[in-house]
Chain A
């Protein structure tokens, strides 16, 4: 089983930095993903962490601590177009050997001027 928690909503100002946290509890961990989803659209991939540490990709960075069951997504130089839902997802390793992707409920980020 799994439990993935992230804040429901956040608001931040254009040009600022925002950190979206995600905590998880899974029976088997095989990687953590962050996705961005604009209203009415499918999720799109942002980042992937399987080892502890920070992964940086342009304005977006993602951090993972496996011992703490914790990750965050850091968005820098916020733009209005960053207003979206951000989904934390864990690739769970099942006893069957299969690895489905399980999502948190998402964090709706509003960027204001």
Chain B
């Protein structure tokens, strides 16, 4: 059974703290994604990675960085958390080639509150 695991479901952090959100997939997928979801704004792409050590900015990369040192793990880093980064963060993965087009898998989400 396919699995995308986000290490923390609920986090509360203070403004200015460095925050790590971890995501691990066990499907040997090349592509991994980080989104955030906010009411009225939908799912917005922060960063994605198409291979180990490779990354590309999404629509809202400001205030975030990512790390992909191993194929199965994609980390989202908030260098200095701010209250406007309070959100639900979703990790997803997908193989490089998917003939059916439907094989994107989501983790369960991480709810981050910055106070």
Give A contacts to B, CB under 8 Å. Answer: 8, 31, 33, 41-45, 47-48, 50, 87, 89, 91, 94, 96, 98, 100-106
Contact = CB atoms under 8 A, between A and B. Distances in A.
A110 to B, nearest CB: 16
Contact of B48 (A41, A87, A100): A100
Interface of B: 31, 33, 35, 40-45, 48, 50, 56, 58-59, 90, 92, 94, 100-102, 104, 106-109
Contact of A103 (B35, B48, B100): B35
B43 A103 contact: yes
Nearest to B102: A48
Given A98-B50, A102-B45, A103-B42, A42 B106 contact: yes
Contacts of A48: 100-102
A44 B104 CA distance: 9
* A-B complex: 9 closest residue pairs judged by Cβ atoms: A105-B42, A42-B106, A103-B43, A48-B101, A48-B102, A31-B101, A106-B42, A100-B48, A45-B102
Judged by DSSP, the binding face of B is strand
A3 B93 CA distance: 23
A98 B48 contact: yes
Nearest to B100: A48
Nearest to A101: B104
B33 A100 contact: yes
B42 A104 contact: yes
Q: Which of A8, A50, A106 has the most CB of B within 10 A?
A: A106
6 contacts: A42-B109, A47-B102, A94-B56, A103-B35, A103-B45, A105-B41
A89 B3 CA distance: 21
